[in-house]
Structure 1
Amino acid sequence: MPEAPDAATAWQWLLERRPHTRSWTVDELAEIAHAAHAEPLLRALYPFPSHGGLHFLNGLPGEVRPAERLPHVLYGPPPYKVYSSDFTELGEVATAEEAVALLARQLPPELRRPRQRP
């Protein structure tokens, strides 16, 4: 299964459900993926669906160390459960937009500032 070479491509492949990429056949992922992509702080990160959750990487797969884990959300029908980087439940919310807002608030301070595009 190929991994995208950068975050922008990973988002594109995730949203278009490119065949043979991570979780491309999982219908339940679409709503949370679209909501997360609408949030600039999350859109700047690499989306990484795995084990029933939409995870976010501050780098490319294989380059991120366990100590650099970020919060994630389980996808599926609502309610959505949001977890911290250490897998502590942060909350259960009714909508994808609420899940994304909770995720964004839980990012480390250095990632909560919008990134400047070159």
Structure 2
Amino acid sequence: MTEETAVEKTWRGILERLPGARRGEPAVIEAAYAEPRLRALFPFPSHGALSFHRNTQFPWSNDLPFIVGDAEGCIVYAPRGASERVLGDSLTPQEAATLVVAHLPDDCGPAFEGSWPPPGSPTD
């Protein structure tokens, strides 16, 4: 049996609402987890938002779209600094997760263990 990665353990904790796990909107969490590319990223629910990161430890990548909302409706926001801030609104959680995937960079995922930036990057 292989040991869980930090990403797998974090998703499991959130989905199973384990003690110490961050809490998020269940419908949004489940919709995001159903998307294989999002499931490979580090999930971070906070303050009504579900963000995704390319790495597992602070400082976070903070360069990917994220979802704000609940089962009644979601908004997908582009990462800070993008020219277009709202990518979609009045979406179901499933539509929001699909839209995030559509706006992920081609080189995105799976998340690596450690802090941002990636080891060996020019800013390292």
Compute the TM-score of the two structures, normalised by the length of structure 1.
Answer: 0.77
**Secondary structure of 1:91's partner?**
strand
- Counterpart pick for 1:89 among 86, 97, 101: 86
Runs of 4+ in structure 1 over 3 Å off: none
Q: C-alpha separation between the residues in 1 aligned to 2:58 and 2:37?
A: 21
Q: Name stretches of at least 5 consecutive residues in structure 1 with no aligned partner.
A: none
CA RMSD of aligned residues (A): 2.2
**Secondary structure of 1:18's partner?**
coil
Question: Could you say which residue in structure 1 is the equivalent of 2:74?
Answer: 80
**Secondary structure of 2:30's partner?**
helix
Contact 2:65 2:77 in 1 (8 A): yes
Larger-Rg structure: 2
Q: C-alpha separation between the residues in 1 aligned to 2:22 and 2:69?
A: 14
- Counterpart pick for 1:109 among 77, 99, 106: 106
Compute the TM-score of the two structures, normalised by the length of structure 2.
Answer: 0.74
Q: Name stretches of at least 5 consecutive residues in structure 2 with no aligned partner.
A: 111-124
Contact 2:38 2:52 in 1 (8 A): yes
Percent identity at matched positions?
Answer: 34
Matched length: 104
In the TM superposition, what are the counterparts of 1:22-33 in structure 2 within 5 Å? 22-23=22-23, 29-33=25-29
Q: Which of the two has greater helix per residue?
A: 1
Question: Could you say which residue in structure 2 is the equivalent of 1:57?
Answer: 53
Which structure exhibits the higher relative contact order, with contacts defined as CA atoms closer than 8 Å and separated by 6 or more residues?
2
Q: C-alpha separation between the residues in 2 aligned to 1:63 and 1:54?
A: 16
- Counterpart pick for 2:33 among 33, 37, 40: 37
